[in-house]
Structure 1
Amino acid sequence: MSLSDIQDEADVRAPHPVQGAASFSKFMAVLQIIADSPGTLDIAQLTKRARFPRGTVYRLVSALIAEGLITQSGESGTFRLGPRLLQLAAKTWEDSDLRTIARDFLVSLRDATDEAVHLAVPSNNRMVYIDKLVGSSTVQMKTSIGGQVELHSTSVGKAWLSGLPDERLLDVIKGLELKRHTANTLTTPEALLAELKRTREQGFAFDDEENEPDIRCLGSPIFNRQREPVGAISVSMPVYRHDARRHELCARLVRQTAKRITAELSRIL
């Protein structure tokens, strides 16, 4: 085989740029920025984060709004993920092996506590709710499937963090902003690490009005066969329904339920 033949064969095997890939990457970059900071960025802030020319960001945003992939607030001018994107994501969550495996266990947990229960998975340094069941009370949390919450201020987030090996945990915490949501929010790495140590020891995380005033939650991590945390479950309730007896009951049940889901997940997947 001649040198030219070898070069021709290499040219055939070499990857060629896909038409439209650069534009698609820009769309995805804008979507990711909005997903990471829902309802907080206007067009100027979005342009600064995206580092694309202002005209490019305008065109990208206009196309995304037209397709229903993002929405813009008429009052603040900030952006959120749109209904079409959430509908597409919901179809994936409906087919999720974890969601399917966990469903019956979540129903039992909801029935035993008569409180709201959530199933969440990690996504870009946040947790995303992929299932929710509510109790009989008319007073419930304003959460929804597809909603994103932060790691440091929620029981599902702290539960998932507690399952990480130390080196990975430290890397993740370095990337967190640790925003203050209430007077009880943990806003320093030292305080968060101390809390995660307690979480590991007791087997559940406790959100003591750290994400929302008047709401307390208890959560435990779910692991796969490799003992990697793949999600978390939680029981949530208003402060007036939380006392020492309810705390002990919900802590025991959320730990047991997470262990049962982990065992079933390890058996099937």
Structure 2
Amino acid sequence: MSVKSAKRALDILDLLAKHTNGLTIKNIGDKLELPQSSTFNLLKTLHSEGYVRQDSMKLYYLGEKLIPLGTSALESLDIHTVAKPYLADLMKAVKETVFMAMLSKDELVYIAKMDADRSIRTTAQPGYKKPIYCTGLGKTFLAFMPETEKNSLLNHITLEKITANTITDRSQLEEQLQLFQKQGYSIDDEENEEGLYCLAAPIFDSQRQLLAAVSVAGPKDRMLKQKETVITNLRDTAKLISNGMGYV
């Protein structure tokens, strides 16, 4: 049985994680449908404990106390330890940004990022969440997870337009996912961030269950010039990490 105040506090932290530009008390209360008095008291406690911070414009953000907690959580994941050297090798081979992510309910959560010297700016960072239907990593989960699980997720996800390239037609998306499953990797062609092209591949565990996904992302023109090289290195890396997690 959940404790209402604890659940509300966690909902506030999740909400602030999605709104990195900050939110007011009213914003938070409205989005979570909470009374303003309850929102104020929860934020007051979270602020005093360092889990949220407030700027001069009265906007709330995630606080500095969450940083060591997030770092400890990442380090406690076996996959993070196993994958780290392979992700670094992949980044050096393709000279583009490398990511690794896991699924959290119906969203993607980034658990690792390796920046190359020429990495471009992106909103994706370890700990951040993104939709699964319009990212290369997310579409990898949809393409390789069991059909019933995929349908369950797509049944309650709203396919919102984020860029001009975002696919919002479910039948078109499912057709694409079938192709991705056959070819062994997924593509995000400027569907979540304009100018960003991403290739992603699945990682499996010892039970042959889909565990995580790894990706390479960069400017579209640069990525297309070395697409085949990226795909080869990406799939090799996913296989090495899978093997490290016991997949045969």
Aligned partners of 1:200 and 1:138: how far apart in 2?
A: 28
Letter in 2 for 1:261: I
Q: Does 1:148 align with 2:129?
A: yes
Letter in 2 for 1:248: E
Letter in 2 for 1:94: E
Q: Does 1:177 align with 2:176?
A: no
Within 5 A, what are the aligned runs for 1:163-174?
A: 163-174=144-155
Aligned partners of 1:201 and 1:78: how far apart in 2?
A: 46
State the SS of the aligned residue for 1:111: helix
Q: 1:266 to 1:135 in 2, by over 3 A?
A: same
Aligned partners of 1:261 and 1:185: how far apart in 2?
A: 30
Question: Residue 39 of structure 2 corresponds to which residue in structure 1?
Answer: 57
Question: Residue 126 of structure 1 corresponds to which residue in structure 2?
Answer: 107
Percent identical pairs in the alignment equals 28
Q: State the Cα distance separating 1:116 from its structure 2 match.
A: 0.9
Q: Does 1:43 align with 2:25?
A: yes
Q: Which portions of structure 1, spanning 4 or more consecutive aligned residues, are displaced by more than 6 angstroms?
A: none
Question: Residue 66 of structure 1 corresponds to which residue in structure 2?
Answer: 48
Q: State the Cα distance separating 1:174 from its structure 2 match.
A: 2.0
Question: Residue 28 of structure 1 corresponds to which residue in structure 2?
Answer: 10
Q: Does the CA-based 8 Å contact 2:110-2:125 persist in structure 1?
A: yes
Q: 1:138 to 1:47 in 2, by over 3 A?
A: closer
Q: Does 1:264 align with 2:244?
A: yes
Between 1:174-183 and 1:78-87, the stretch displaced more is: 78-87
TM-score w.r.t. the length of structure 1 is 0.81
TM-score w.r.t. the length of structure 2 is 0.88
Q: Does 1:238 align with 2:188?
A: no
Larger radius of gyration, structure 1 or 2?
1
CA RMSD of aligned residues (A): 2.6
| Structure 1 gap ranges (5+) | 1-16
Number of residue pairs matched by the alignment: 248
